[in-house]
Structure 1
Amino acid sequence: MDHYDVAIVGYGPAGATLANLLAECGLEVIVLERETAAYHLPRAVHFDAEVMRVFQWIGIADAMEPMTALHPGMRFIDRDGKLLLDWPRPQGTGPQGWRANYRFHQPDLEKLLRDRAAEKASVTVRTRADVFFVEDKGAEVELRFEDMSRGKVERITAKFVVGCDGARSIIRRYIDTGMEDYGFHERWLVIDVILNEDKPALGDHSIQYCVPERPSTYVRGPGMRRRWEITVRPEEDSVEIAKPERVWELLSPWLKPEEATLERTAVYVFHSLVADDWRRGRLLLAGDACHQTPPFMGQGMCAGTRDVANLYWKLALVCKGIVAGAAAEALLDSYESERKPNAREYITTAVRLGGLINTCGTEAALRSALPSANGSARMESIAPPIGPGLGIGEKAGRLFGQPRLADGRWMDGPFKHRFVVVAEADLAEGLVLPPGVGLVTTATSPDAADHLARLGTRATVLRPDRHTLGAANTREELEALLGRILPNPIDVQEPEMV
């Protein structure tokens, strides 16, 4: 019976990203996917700078960026075409080293992720693998799956199993957890089209049409791809409304049949759910398996990527035996305690926003629903900190930016999957670092001071997922933080200082 460090059930973006990250840390990984190939039609259409930074770690960001479209922001329009609220997104390179937001075609991303995983000898991918039995035996997990290409039942074991298997997750069933319900359950018709030629009048902004009898959303994709999401009324039939003649009738305010080709129409039920338990023993959940959100914030796939970025290095430390016993249990428990509040905040904000779109929200109400709105109704990106877990102090759990190094490289290049100290030069002088920990100072990075000022501190310790372990303003506070650093999830002989 073959044995692996981690078995991943599900090979969507979350599962593929996790497989790549774990393999880079030297783990033996198997991915079990029921389908033969990645879904060929678009689903998710948005990700942000935090997610692109994770793709940078994997090594696909530079290939992905040219495939994306600019995203200037979102506008909220009432039935008369009046602008209720403008939510601009920053353009150009931001603190994470990437643009704030991207519009993309999911099959392009999935191909890059899968091609990258195929280059890694420690990743085994089994498609047409239908998992039907999971048993946590204490020291390992046994899985049974049917190879549907030949009707054969196979067995494997793994130290841990991560369910990245979507809303109907079989791993969630074995964890036997309930779901927190935030009350949003609506049918929406999703329409993807490919324009025959560009139609500038549609614009580049995402637009939320706040029309109570028929709320809808317009999204620009890369190239000639465009999407509309249109609410389905209670009395309407899901099959009938998705037929081409009805679809073109609904699109008539924006588009004529001769101007585009329908790529996909489907009715989805948008939910707002968060699993009560994200871990039981050696079974864990990530992505849609543990949270589902309405699409109004564009954070569905982003949340799954954040999950696996938080989880991968913790699994690596435990699988390698670097962290063991009670410390390993606490480390793995920190995954849920950190990620769940962050995911919940995004989902509840999306629910509030969806409710206002459905009821033709006013400018004031929309700004109230999105607390980062300022007096001029222009909003910054919302990025709540992660919940309590490994951090120390009130500035723990904040996503830190990516300083540019003196040689022009971004920080995450030489320090990938490692803890890093970022500090003012005088505070770091003579500092003794734990093995493998990187050091970036205001003397060796042209913009480290700006990143520290944004956090409001003189020094910080960054985890491999680039959230702050804590902040320090004195040498004593910094040395106390150093004492809380865990070993790196990859083997590093000597610390690198730049």
Structure 2
Amino acid sequence: MECFDVAIVGYGPTGATLAHLLGQCGVSVVILEREGNAYHLPRAVHLDAEVMRTLQWAGIADALEPKTAPHPGMRFVGADGRLLLDWPRPQGQGPQGWRANYRFHQPDLEKLLRDHMAERETVSVRTRCDVVSLKERKDGVELRYEDRRNGRTCRVSAKYVVGCDGARSLVRGVIRAGMEDFGFHERWLVIDAILNREKPELGDHSVQYCVPERPATYVRCPGLRRRWEITVRPEEDANEIARPARVWELLSRWLTPDEAELERSVVYTFHSLVAKSWRKGRLLLAGDACHQTPPFMGQGMCAGIRDVANLYWKLALICQGSITATAAERLLDSYESERKPNAREYIATAVRLGGLINTCGTQEALRAAFPSADGAARMESIAPPLGKGLGTGDKAGRLFGQPRLSGGALMDDVHPHRFVVVADADLVDQLSAPEGTAIVSTTASADAAEHLAQVGARAVILRPDRYILGAADTAEELTQLLSDRLPDPVAA
């Protein structure tokens, strides 16, 4: 029986990104995916700078960026056309080394992820393979799957299994993880259209129409692609409302049939759920398998990419055999304790935004959802820290920016998958860092001092996922932090 370090069930963006990152660390991976090809129609349409930075590590961000569209922000508009809530997004390169937000076409992302997987020599991709059972043993997990190309039942084993297999996750079923319900379950008609020519009056902003009779969302996507999401009333039939004639009726305030082609119209039920357990022994969950969110924050796929950015380096450390069994358990436990609060906050905010839309955008609803709002309010982007896990101090668990080094390269391109010390030059002049730990001083980077000032520290130790492990203001504090930190994963 073939043996791997990690088996990934599911080959969507979450599973594929995890495979790239593990493969770069020399971890042997098998991906088992029941479908033969990536889904060819649009799904997720938004990603943010943190996700783009993770795709930078995977080696595809530079190829993806030209295929994206800028995202200036989101506006909530009342039935009378009055602006209720403005959510502007920063433009230009931000602290992560990328623009704050992007609109993208998911098939473009999936093609890049899959095309570049050939570069990962330790990753084996097996499509049309339907996992039918998982059996955990003392030193690993046995997976049985049906190879649908020939009807044979096959077996592989892995030290760990990560279920990236979506909302109906088989792996979650094996774990028997219940779901925490945030109470949002609504049917929305999702319409993807391709314009025949530019229509500037539609605008580049996303717009939430808080209209009493039919709340709706407009999203500008790359090129000539545009998306609308429109509420489906309880009495309406899902098949009937998705028929082209009815779709064009619903789009009539924005678009006519001679201006665009319909690419897709389908009714989805948006949920707000978080798995109560993300791990059982050697089985773990990531992406939609452990959380589902309404789309109003654009964080569905982003949350899955954040999951695997948190998880990959921990699995790599364990699979490389460089830490004790006790340390391995601590690392795996920290995955859920760190990621779940972050995911929950995004989902809770999305539910509040959904409530604002569905209560028709009254000022009372605005104040209830956002107590600090006054009149036509401006919403600031949230960036929740990680939950309690690794590291110490009040700055642990905060995402750090990406300095640009003196030669012009971004830090993560030079020091991938490593712990990194970023510090004022006088703190690292005599520093003896552990083997494999990179050092970026304020004299070796044009903007490292700015990044340190943002978090209010003179030195930080960054984990491979670029969250802060600890911060220091003296050479003695920094030396102590380094002596306590975890071993470094070795990149392939």
Same fold (TM over 0.5): yes
Q: Which consecutive unaligned segments of at least 5 residues does structure 2 have?
A: none
CA distance in 2, matches of 1:372, 1:403: 33
- What amino acid does structure 2 have at the position aligned with 1:198? E
Q: Secondary structure at the match of 2:20?
A: helix
Aligned residue in 2 for 1:17: 17
CA shift, 1:363, in A, is 5.5
Moved over 6 A (4+): 371-376
CA shift, 1:265, in A, is 0.6
Relative distance call for 1:169 and 1:372 in structure 2 (3 A) is farther
Equivalence map 1:307-456=2 (5 Å) = 307-362=307-362, 365-366=365-366, 369=369, 377-456=377-456
Deviations 1:61-86 (A, max 9, x none): 11000000010000010111111111
CA distance in 2, matches of 1:370, 1:398: 23
Equivalence map 1:451-490=2 (5 Å) = 451-490=451-490
CA shift, 1:51, in A, is 0.3
CA distance in 1, matches of 2:375, 2:77: 18
Aligned residue in 2 for 1:216: 216
CA shift, 1:379, in A, is 3.3
Q: CA RMSD in A?
A: 1.4
CA contact (8 A) 2:84 2:376 kept: no
CA distance in 2, matches of 1:484, 1:206: 46
Q: How many residues of Structure 1 are paired with residues of Structure 2 in the alignment? A: 492
Relative distance call for 1:87 and 1:372 in structure 2 (3 A) is farther
CA shift, 1:476, in A, is 2.2
Q: Which moved more, 1:365-374 or 1:91-100?
A: 365-374
Q: Which consecutive unaligned segments of at least 5 residues does structure 1 have?
A: 493-498
Q: Secondary structure at the match of 2:261?
A: strand
Q: Secondary structure at the match of 1:247?
A: helix
CA contact (8 A) 1:79 1:210 kept: yes
Aligned residue in 2 for 1:155: 155
Relative distance call for 1:194 and 1:122 in structure 2 (3 A) is same
Aligned residue in 2 for 1:298: 298
Relative distance call for 1:220 and 1:144 in structure 2 (3 A) is same
- What amino acid does structure 2 have at the position aligned with 1:484? D
Q: Secondary structure at the match of 1:76?
A: strand
CA contact (8 A) 2:86 2:376 kept: no
CA contact (8 A) 1:145 1:153 kept: yes
Residue 196 of structure 2 is aligned to residue 196 of structure 1: yes
CA shift, 1:372, in A, is 8.9
Q: TM-score, normalised by structure 2?
A: 0.98
- What amino acid does structure 2 have at the position aligned with 1:237? D
CA shift, 1:442, in A, is 1.2
CA distance in 1, matches of 2:396, 2:377: 29
CA contact (8 A) 2:193 2:225 kept: yes
CA contact (8 A) 2:416 2:491 kept: no
Q: Secondary structure at the match of 2:413?
A: coil
CA contact (8 A) 1:419 1:462 kept: yes
CA distance in 1, matches of 2:480, 2:242: 60
CA contact (8 A) 1:372 1:382 kept: no
Deviations 1:279-322 (A, max 9, x none): 00000000000000000000000000000000000000111111
Q: Secondary structure at the match of 1:401?
A: coil
CA shift, 1:369, in A, is 3.4
- What amino acid does structure 1 have at the position aligned with 2:116? R
Q: TM-score, normalised by structure 1?
A: 0.97
- What amino acid does structure 1 have at the position aligned with 2:449? A
CA contact (8 A) 2:88 2:378 kept: yes
- What amino acid does structure 1 have at the position aligned with 2:220? R
Q: Secondary structure at the match of 2:54?
A: helix
CA contact (8 A) 1:182 1:272 kept: yes
Relative distance call for 1:411 and 1:366 in structure 2 (3 A) is farther
Deviations 1:73-120 (A, max 9, x none): 000101111111111100000000000000000000000001111222
CA shift, 1:491, in A, is 4.9
CA shift, 1:477, in A, is 1.8
CA contact (8 A) 2:395 2:455 kept: yes
CA distance in 2, matches of 1:67, 1:23: 25
Aligned residue in 2 for 1:270: 270
Aligned residue in 2 for 1:4: 4
CA distance in 1, matches of 2:272, 2:315: 28
CA distance in 2, matches of 1:182, 1:434: 44
CA shift, 1:326, in A, is 1.1
CA distance in 2, matches of 1:239, 1:421: 56
